């Protein structure tokens, strides 16, 4: 009989917080405020303020496991809450400020939130659901400089420097919470542990994945209420990177100004954002001096190949990743493996690979199933993606009856349809419910959308399944033309000539915009409803 002689050392965020100040005290955190001025402080200030917040929460009665909600943009105070709440033994519950107030209230009640930290500029939103939620303590962050009257003043609480008594924490203790932003159905709560966040940060930071280092300057544009800004704040603090927080101004010009001013070299967000950035750069290619080779991480929805090509022309590297609320979120990340390193980077094959969702992180396992059987890794056969790993949810918070999301042998069913190739690159071809099933064949709506987006006159496109008397379903393309451009159905159909005849849209409609969810995904359910009675000719 032999036992390991290694220490039992819990993987908690307390270590991340302390280390941030001890080793990287001079690293900067820059936040753009609502009036567009820049707020600057260092990791050392951040640490002192996070400890002060932890003490204040304890003084207000925070007990282990209490939920502390945030209704905030991306900035220094939100970052302080990110570490202070879990290190005080609480559970950080980031509320999605883009949801309908009734939905925010439902989520806050379902989660059992006791505390709320809210930006003063978001108080008008808060007032719309204040009565429906049951917060015992409201703390207001004075971002705009106006006097605080709706709750405790965040800055005054911190100035009190209430003593902080670090609680005993185990690595499996709950640390954070996020609700799914599903395109259909009720939002469901996922509770992250200290351990899952730490392991996710370690794995994503690796060179081939986010590749974050101490020398990087990182801007999470993805909101801190969308799956912990994909873990970037934690990962950045772990390596001591400079953080540049965009606050509420997320239009392309404001972002480009910030990237230039702070020389940002890594940023992350959903594809629609980067479309805007590309258009701004196309319009005024000389206006901004960006860091050469800047990395734009894209996730939350499939990355169109046209976007990668378009931003390559401006010296910006678009890198897709894949994830879900239930997977912390990052599970896949796209990098060029050594066996492909000699490929011509500008070849069509290379672009097709670069647009895939990526290869699995260490300790993140994938398989794709069709008709109950695992499909081969041939890059062609589609199946439902199932995943497992230490930062994948094993259940939802207080949601009896949701067990069908997990397979009998414990894998999480993602609801995404994917192919996996021999080299391990996963390509998402659809959400299960968005698949077009035409005459017994599966048609990938994402492939068609990406091909349409590559047409010079197309801004974006959504392809949906519409009932058809003969084929069961046929694809309908809903297209937004670029400003000032015009295009016909015939031209688009010809543009898709590389697709099999049955796989091309059976009709095209032109619209001014495609409805989107609070986290930037196309609302295909809404489109399907709008076009369900389409008369095929
Ligand atoms: P959320 O829980 O809001 O992060 O949404 C997760 C869903 O976003 C996934 O199940 C996918 O359908 C979609 N998604 C995220 N990343 C990608 C990607 N790289 N390609 C395609 N779909 C993606």
Whether residue 322 has its Cβ less than 6 Å from ligand 1: yes
107-165 pLDDT, tens digit each: 999 999 999 999 999 999 999 999 999 999 999 999 998 898 889 999 999 999 999 99
Q: Is the peptide bond before 347 cis (omega within 30 degrees of 0)?
A: no
Is 148 part of any domain? yes
What is the bridge-based pairing of β-strands 373-374 and 365-370? Answer: antiparallel
Residues involved in catalysis: 180, 326, 437, 442
pLDDT of residue 184: 60
Count other C-beta atoms under 10 Å from residue 525's C-beta: 18
Q: How many CB atoms lie within 10 A of CB 326?
A: 24
368 beta partners = 385
222 lines ligand 1 (CB under 6 A): no
CATH code of 46's domain: 3.40.50.12780
Q: How far apart are CA 206 and CA 227, in angstroms?
A: 19
Instruction: State the pLDDT at residue 483.
Output: 87
* Alpha-carbon span 429 to 447, nearest angstrom: 7
Domain identity same for 53 and 172: yes
State whether 73 and 139 are in the same domain.
yes
Q: Does residue 329 lie within any of the structural domains?
A: no
165 within a domain of the structure (yes/no):
yes
Q: How high is the pLDDT of residue 363?
A: 98
Same domain, 377 and 517: no
Is 285 among the domain residues?
Answer: no
DSSP 470: T
| Residue at which a domain ends, from 191, 216, 249 | 191
Closest C-alpha to 460, from 268, 278, 272, 279: 272
Same domain, 58 and 69: yes
Mutation to probe ligand 1, out of 225, 299, 453 (largest number of atoms < 8 A from CB): 299
Please check whether residues 524 and 447 belong to one and the same domain.
Answer: yes
Q: Do residues 419 and 456 share a domain?
A: no
pLDDT digits (tens, 9 = 90+) for 308-323: 999 999 999 999 999 9
Listed range (339-343, 365-369, 393-397, 450-454) with the worst mean pLDDT: 339-343
pLDDT digits (tens, 9 = 90+) for 197-226: 999 999 999 999 999 999 999 999 999 999
Percentage of residues of the chain with pLDDT beyond 90: 91
Atom of ligand 1 nearest to the CA of 415: 10
- CATH number where 440 lies: 3.30.300.30
Residue 183 has pLDDT above 70, yes or no: no
Residue 357, ligand 1, Cβ within 6 A: yes
Q: Quick: pLDDT tens for 16-55.
A: 999 999 999 999 999 999 999 999 999 999 999 999 999 9
Do residues 420 and 492 share a domain? no
370 and 426, same structural domain? yes
Q: Judge if the beta carbon of residue 414 lies within 6 A of ligand 1.
A: yes
Please tell me if the CB atom of residue 223 comes closer than 6 angstroms to any atom of ligand 1.
Answer: no
Does any domain span residue 316?
no
Q: Could you give the 3-state DSSP secondary structure of residue 446?
A: helix
Residue that is last in its domain, among 432, 461, 489: 432
Q: Where are the beta strands (DSSP E) in 359-457?
A: 359-360, 365-370, 373-374, 383-388, 412-420, 426-431, 436-438, 441-443
Q: Using CA atoms, how far apart are residues 326 and 191, in angstroms rounded to an integer?
A: 9
Nearest atom within ligand 1 for CA of residue 299:
16
Residue 185 has pLDDT above 80, yes or no: no
Q: Which atom of ligand 1 is nearest to the CA of 517?
A: 3
Closest CA to ligand 1's atom 23: 301
The residue range of the domain holding 452 is: 435-530
pLDDT at residue number 116: 98
- pLDDT tens, position by position, 454-491: 999 999 999 999 999 899 999 999 999 998 898 999 99
Residue 343 domain-assigned (yes or no): no
Q: What is the pLDDT of residues 378-407, one digit of tens each?
A: 999 999 999 999 999 999 999 998 889 999
User: CB of 302 closer than 6 A to ligand 1?
Assistant: yes
Does residue 107 sit within a domain? yes
| 2 pLDDT above the threshold of 80 | yes
466 and 409: one domain? no
Please check whether residue 110 lies inside any domain of the structure. Answer: yes
Alpha carbon distance 262, 222 (integer Å)? 18
Q: Domain count of the chain?
A: 3
Using the 3D structure, point to which of 191, 225, 253 is the last residue of a domain: 191
Ligand 1: which of 187, 300, 420 to mutate, most ligand atoms within 8 Å of CB? Answer: 300
Q: Do 387 and 444 share a domain, yes or no?
A: no
Is the domain of 428 the same as that of 450? no
Statement: residue 182 has pLDDT above 70: no
Question: Do 55 and 175 reside in the same domain of the chain?
Answer: yes
Residue 431 Cβ contacting ligand 1 at under 6 Å: yes
Q: What is the mean pLDDT of residues 418-424?
A: 97
Mutation probe of ligand 1 site: the residue of 107, 188, 302 with most atoms within 8 A of C-beta:
302
């Amino acid at each position: 009989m032999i036992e390991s002689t290694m220490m039992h050392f819990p993987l908690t965020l307390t270590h991340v917080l302390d280390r941030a100040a001890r080793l990287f005290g001079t690293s900067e955190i820059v936040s753009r405020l609502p009036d567009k001025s820049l707020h600057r402080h260092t990791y050392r200030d951040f640490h002192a303020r996070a400890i002060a917040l932890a003490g204040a929460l304890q003084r207000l009665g925070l007990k282990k496991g209490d939920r502390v909600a945030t209704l905030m943009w991306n900035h220094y105070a939100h970052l302080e809450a990110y570490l202070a709440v879990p290190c005080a033994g609480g559970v950080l519950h980031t509320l999605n400020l883009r949801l309908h107030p009734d939905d925010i209230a439902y989520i806050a009640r379902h989660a059992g939130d006791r505390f709320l930290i809210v930006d003063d500029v978001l108080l008008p939103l808060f007032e719309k659901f204040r009565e429906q939620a049951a917060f015992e303590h409201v703390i207001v962050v004075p971002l705009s400089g106006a006097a605080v009257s709706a709750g405790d003043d965040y800055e005054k609480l911190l100035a009190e420097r209430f003593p902080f008594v670090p609680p005993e924490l185990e690595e499996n203790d709950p640390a954070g919470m996020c609700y799914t932003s599903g395109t259909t159905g009720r939002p469901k709560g996922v509770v992250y542990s200290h351990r899952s966040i730490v392991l996710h940060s370690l794995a994503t930071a690796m060179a081939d994945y986010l590749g974050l280092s101490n020398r990087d300057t990182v801007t999470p544009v993805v909101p801190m209420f969308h799956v912990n800004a994909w873990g970037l704040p934690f990962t950045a603090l772990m390596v001591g990177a400079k953080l540049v927080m965009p606050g509420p101004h997320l239009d392309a010009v404001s972002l480009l100004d910030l990237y230039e001013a702070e020389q940002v070299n890594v940023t992350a967000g959903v594809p629609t954002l980067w479309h805007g950035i590309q258009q701004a750069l196309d319009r005024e290619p000389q206006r901004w001096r960006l860091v050469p080779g800047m990395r734009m991480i894209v996730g939350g929805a499939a990355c169109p190949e046209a976007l990668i090509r378009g931003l390559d022309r401006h010296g910006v590297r678009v890198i897709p990743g894949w994830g879900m609320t239930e997977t912390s979120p990052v599970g896949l990340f796209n990098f060029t493996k050594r066996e492909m390193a000699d490929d011509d980077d500008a070849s069509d094959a290379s672009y097709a690979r670069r647009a895939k969702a990526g290869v699995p992180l260490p300790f993140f396992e994938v398989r794709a199933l069709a008709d109950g059987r695992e499909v081969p890794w041939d890059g062609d056969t589609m199946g439902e993606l199932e995943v497992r790993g230490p930062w994948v949810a094993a259940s939802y918070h207080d949601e009896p009856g949701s067990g069908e999301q997990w397979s009998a042998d414990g894998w999480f069913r993602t609801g995404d349809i994917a192919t996996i190739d021999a080299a391990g690159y996963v390509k998402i071809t659809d959400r299960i419910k968005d698949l077009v099933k035409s005459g017994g064949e599966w048609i990938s709506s994402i492939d068609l959308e990406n091909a349409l987006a590559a047409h010079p006159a197309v801004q974006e496109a959504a392809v949906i399944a519409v009932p058809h008397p003969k084929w069961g379903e046929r694809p309908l393309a809903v297209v937004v033309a670029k400003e000032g451009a015009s295009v016909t159905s015939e031209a688009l159909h010809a543009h898709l000539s590389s697709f099999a005849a049955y796989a091309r849209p059976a009709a095209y409609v032109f619209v001014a915009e495609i409805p989107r969810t609070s986290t930037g995904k196309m609302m295909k359910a809404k489109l399907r409803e709008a076009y369900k009675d389409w008369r095929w000719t």
